[in-house]
């Protein structure tokens, strides 16, 4: 062994000034769950709380894309890339459950469907969530798929089962 080569018995380096070390412990395993949702920060905290409280999940695969579940449908210009990502992640992590979450006042839907009302957009999103279930069963045949629509409710956010 040369003087420059690291020893296989070398202790891990201590954090250097400016490094961040989390309090979260390293886990080799995963929870075999994919969550597909939109990145809108207005719904981020509620989504995280919902996933933690309803499912007890901490180490799921988040696929966060504009439009969330709509991004896998043929109405999205980039749907094939998203489907390929899901299959890659499934091959690596073996999904047993997929959760899709859409939300009220989604910018991706406003851009895609500018000439419809918010009520019509909500109806479209609910229909798209149902189509998302079908597509997920085609991509990952033996999986449980659950979908939700999140919306403001008395100053908070509720997740409506679709």
pLDDT in tens, 44-96: 999 999 999 999 998 899 999 999 999 999 999 999 999 999 999 999 999 99
CATH code 3.40.47.10 for 33-161: no
Q: For the chain, which residues make up each domain, given as ranges?
A: 33-161
Provide φ and ψ at 86, rounded to 5°: -65, -45
Instruction: List, in sequence order, every beta strand (DSSP E) within the chain.
Output: 33-37, 61-64, 97-103, 144-153, 156-161
Q: Is 144 helix (H, G, I), strand (E, B) or coil?
A: strand
Tell me the pTM.
0.84
Query: 152-161: which pairs have CB atoms within 8 A and are 24 or more residues apart?
Result: 152/104, 156/46, 157/43, 157/46, 159/46, 159/50, 159/54, 159/101
């Amino acid at each position: 062994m040369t003087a420059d080569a690291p020893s296989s018995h070398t202790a891990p380096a201590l954090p250097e000034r400016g490094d961040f070390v989390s309090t979260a412990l390293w886990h080799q395993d995963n929870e075999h769950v994919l969550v597909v949702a939109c990145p809108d920060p207005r719904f981020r905290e509620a989504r995280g709380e919902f996933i933690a409280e309803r499912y007890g999940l901490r180490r799921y695969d988040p696929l966060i894309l504009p439009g969330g579940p709509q991004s896998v449908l043929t109405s999205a210009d980039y749907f094939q890339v998203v489907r390929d990502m899901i299959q890659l992640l499934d091959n690596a992590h073996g999904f047993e459950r997929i959760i899709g979450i859409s939300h009220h006042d989604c910018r991706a839907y406003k851009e895609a469907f500018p000439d419809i009302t918010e009520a019509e957009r909500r109806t479209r999103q609910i229909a798209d969530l149902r189509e998302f279930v079908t597509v997920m069963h085609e991509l990952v045949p033996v999986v449980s798929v659950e979908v939700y629509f999140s919306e403001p409710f008395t100053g908070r956010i509720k997740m409506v089962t679709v």
